[in-house]
Amino acid sequence: MITEIKDISDIQKAADALEAEISKYVVGWPNVIKFLAIGIFTGGHILIEGVPGTAKTYLAKIFSDTINLSFRRIQSTPDLMPSDITGSHIFNVKTLEFDFHAGPIFSNIVLMDEINRAPPKTQSALLEVMQEGQVTIDGNTTQIEQPFMIIATKNPIEFAGTFPLPPAQLDRFMARLIMNYPPKEAWIDILEKKNQRGESVEVEQVLDSSSVISARKLIQDQVSLDDDVLSFISNLCNTTRDNSRIILGASPTASVSLLNASRGYAVIIRGSDKVTTEDVKAVAFDVLNHRLVIRDLEAGQDTKDYGVTKINDLLQSSLKSIQ
């Protein structure tokens, strides 16, 4: 287990070790695994969306098992209440006082499974903790222990008993990672691993809490950006707001997420302490795709892939316009 991270190269090695361990159990999604590493090392929350049976929940669970942090899973249902997430005060008949029982949100990594099955009032219980890292219950505010990360899964094809995520909720996720069907060559590998191992899972822990916190501080303090990169991020977000085909473009929060994801990408993928515009381009789709409300989609003209291709085309045209 890696217990100390001293420089940028150590972060890249840690991310590679995470991917190597996770890939023993989940195959066909190296880019998704890399972005989960970017999320944990930069303090971003991740939304994983895809059709049923593509190992979204399984990947999130294996990812959490590779890091020595507290983990809780919340299974979203239409009758889930906000207090089921945050916790509540319960009357103690022995002491005649109200005792606080902490909810599952008081963990380092929280898996919100099938988040769109939770009703709006329950989804709103996540807004404060995702943005500010704190929870307010009965007027008392408690800080969440760091590192903290929410991984949510979402199924885009089921509508019965589901509730759409509002833009304010989506904007708090650093990235939406699309997990539809894996490449053809990965299917054989999936069957071989299941045939050999069955359902047996013995994940080796790769990182601990102190190494994650050290990595976050290094990325924040030692990764630099030139003014032209900052201008590129600003211009990209502005073009999404000026496009007549986009009803709701990228917010200032989106630009901050783009900045942080670019930092993580530069370190984890290239092992560099300097962000370039190519790093921004590499993460732009994952960071922005869930934040854009497309006019055609609002008119009921969605495509087979639930608008992903249209959003990608719009982002690519935005990138080309600011070359």
Q: Identify the pLDDT of residue 303.
A: 45
Answer whether 1-222 and 223-323 agree in fold: no
Q: Identify the pLDDT of residue 306.
A: 55
With H, G, I as helix, E, B as strand and everything else as coil, classify residue 142: strand
Q: Identify the pLDDT of residue 305.
A: 54
- CA–CA distance, 307 with 285 (Å, rounded to integer): 13
Q: Identify the pLDDT of residue 297.
A: 52
Q: Identify the pLDDT of residue 315.
A: 81
Q: Give per-residue pLDDT as tens, 140-183.
A: 899 999 999 999 999 888 777 789 898 899 999 999 999 988 88
Q: Which amino acid is at 155?
A: N
| Burial of residue 269, with CB atoms counted within 10 A of its CB: 0-12 exposed, 13-18 middle, 19 or more buried | middle
Sequence ranges of the domains in the chain: 1-222, 223-323
The average pLDDT across 27-36 equals 92
Q: Give per-residue pLDDT as tens, 105-151.
A: 999 999 999 999 999 999 999 999 999 999 999 888 999 999 999 99
Q: Identify the pLDDT of residue 236.
A: 92
Q: Give per-residue pLDDT as tens, 235-256.
A: 999 998 888 888 888 899 999 9
For the chain, give the secondary structure using H, E and C: CECCCCCHHHHHHHHHHHHHHHCCCCCCCHHHHHHHHHHHHHCCCEEEECCCCCCHHHHHHHHHHCEECCEEEEECCCCCCHHHHHEEEEEECCCCEEEEEECCCCCCEEEEECHHHCCHHHHHHHHHHHHHCEEEECCEEEECCCCCEEEEEECCCCCCCCCCCCHHHHCCCCEEEECCCCCHHHHHHHHHHHHHHCCCCCCCCCEEHHHHHHHHHHHHHHCEECHHHHHHHHHHHHHHHHCCCEEECCCHHHHHHHHHHHHHHHHHCCCCCEECHHHHHHHHHHHHCCCCEEHHHHCCCCCCCCCHHHHHHHHHHHHHHCC
Q: Give per-residue pLDDT as tens, 279-318.
A: 999 999 999 999 988 876 554 444 445 567 777 787 887 7
The average pLDDT across 55-67 equals 92
| Burial of residue 140, with CB atoms counted within 10 A of its CB: 0-12 exposed, 13-18 middle, 19 or more buried | exposed
Average pLDDT over the chain, rounded to whole? 89
The average pLDDT across 197-216 equals 88
Least confident of 2-11, 16-25, 91-100, 195-204: 195-204
Q: Identify the pLDDT of residue 299.
A: 47
Q: How far is CA 33 from CA 46, 177, 271, 287, 303, in A?
A: 11, 10, 17, 15, 27
Q: Identify the pLDDT of residue 222.
A: 94
Class for the domain spanning 223-323: mainly alpha
pTM: 0.90
CATH fold for domain 1-222: Rossmann fold (3.40.50)
